Amino acid sequence: PGKTVTLQRALVYSCNIPIAEMAMDLPRDAVPNMAKAFGFEHDLTIPLTVTPSESPVPADEAQVAIASIGQLDVMATPLQMAMISAGIANGGKVMKPQLVPQVITSDLRVEEEFEPELFSTPISPATANTLAMMMEHVVDDADGTGHLAAIDGVRVAGKTGTAENGFEADGTERPYTLWFTGFAPV
């Protein structure tokens, strides 16, 4: 009782409770709106169609807490998480994802070329830099959940997570999915 955990420590240890408490102090749609600014709920192409990630508005405060840590009805693709990390690495600018820089025909003629294109700027450069620094601690703190991603001589930023996979038809729980997203150099 009475102990305070910084946001940085919550990220380093992947501690959900401080994140959920912060989210409950915000309007119900704050986290889903930020998720949308990063690309959730949008139809994306790379140029193939990509399944949109989902972050619906929670119905009540309990759902706000659960959804804010990526559970409940939140669904994120690996591409979406890469967009978030890249946006943080890119000073708050999220780029439209692209799988290839160009499409070439069998006779080596360039059929289509893709230029980098800004998708959104959901956070300021100062916020992006602060998040990058916090994510760096996830990796460089010896007891951080992302310490295995450390590379000697390289500043690496990252974030770990755990996703629930629901239940089988017989009621048994499916195993969790553990994931990591990150970027280097910071």
Q: What is the tens place of the pLDDT at every residue in 21-32?
A: 999 999 999 999
- pTM value? 0.89
Task: Cis check for the bond before 116: say yes or no (omega within 30 of 0).
Answer: no
pLDDT band at 183 (very low <50, low <70, confident <90, very high): very high
Which residue has tokens 């990526």? 70
Q: What are the residues whose beta carbons fall under 8 Å from the beta carbon of 13, sequence distance 6 or more?
A: 143, 144, 145
Q: What is the pLDDT of residues 64-101, one digit of tens each?
A: 999 999 998 999 999 999 999 999 999 999 999 998 88
